[in-house]
Amino acid sequence: MDKILIEKTIAFVKEKLKDAEGGHDWFHIERVYNNAMNIAKDENCNITIVALGALLHDIADSKFHGGDETIGPKLAWEFLESQNVPEETIIHVVNIIENISFKGGNFERKFSSIELDVVQDADRLDAIGAIGIARAFNYGGFKNRALYDPTIAPNMNMSKEEYKSAVSPTINHFYEKLLLLKDRMNTQAGKQIAEERHTYMEKFLEQFFAECEGKR
Ligand code: ADP
Ligand code: NI
């Protein structure tokens, strides 16, 4: 692994994300980076590309840039070019950034590589478990959403249109996305960690609804 390049990338990302919202700040990147290094141990992959992909994957999330999905890849490209990184590596890292958050199931991933698999698993792990719960409610707060609203059923039976118009309370996000992630993991290590975090979320939801109904 190119340690100096990684150190410089860390400094660049910390600076770029210094005012980021809590769910997408440097500490999200650090957790994803650590998850990725952990998962990568069992995979035959290029560790520098995994590290760069993890560090740069949320450099400019389109949600916070007026839906523009080109800013993140462009920033990453310019930074890596300024560090004299070989073009082949830059292209791979940019492909990771562009393809990491494909929704899974709905359309084919345009690019695949083991390095993307690892970084995608690492990012998904940070959306589930205890951290995932914290991030979901943080994001809901940022959007000024209800925690829970019994009149908007937290289940998968609503149509997409109904959901969009309903402004889902945060608890619904677990059923829309977070509980689905464990079956979308790519790597063995990712699947195993996801299982544990999934079980933790199920316990949380059981307790949450019991408390909502005054049963515990
Ligand atoms: P990432 O940037 O890590 O790829 P997302 O941008 O999709 O993932 O989401 C970032 C975090 O915000 C995740 O933890 C996710 O669960 C949370 N989040 C995204 N959309 C919602 C939502 N509608 N309600 C609650 N949390 C959400
Ligand atoms: Ni992320």
Pocket test for ligand 1, best of 125, 139, 204 (most atoms within 8 A of CB): 139
Pair of tokens at residue 81: 């070019």
Q: Indicate the CATH number for domain 127-216.
A: 1.20.58.1910
Average per-residue pLDDT for the chain:
90
Please tell me the predicted confidence (pLDDT) of residue 103: 53
The distance from CA 197 to its chain's CA centroid, rounded to whole angstroms, is: 14
CA dist list (Å): 21 to 30, 121, 124, 156: 15, 22, 18, 28
Please tell me the predicted confidence (pLDDT) of residue 86: 97
Q: Outline which parts of the chain fall under CATH 1.20.58.1910.
A: 127-216
Q: Are 115 and 45 in contact (CB under 8 A)?
A: yes
Percentages (nearest 5) of helix, strand, coil residues in the chain: 65, 0, 35
User: Is there an atom of ligand 1 within 6 Å of 127 CB?
Assistant: yes
What is the ipTM, given to two decimal places? 0.94
Does an H or E element contain 75, and which?
A: helix 71-82
User: Is there an atom of ligand 1 within 6 Å of 158 CB?
Assistant: no
Rounded Cα distance between 24 and 139, Å, is 9
Please tell me the predicted confidence (pLDDT) of residue 153: 62
Q: Outline which parts of the chain fall under CATH 1.10.472.50.
A: 1-107
Mean pLDDT in consecutive groups of 10 residues from the start of the chain, 216 residues: 94 93 90 98 97 95 72 94 97 95 63 96 98 95 88 63 69 94 97 98 96 87
User: Is there an atom of ligand 1 within 6 Å of 61 CB?
Assistant: yes
User: Is there an atom of ligand 1 within 6 Å of 136 CB?
Assistant: yes
The domain defined by 1-107 folds into Cyclin A; domain 1 (1.10.472)
CA dist list (Å): 183 to 82, 125, 152, 179: 39, 12, 26, 9
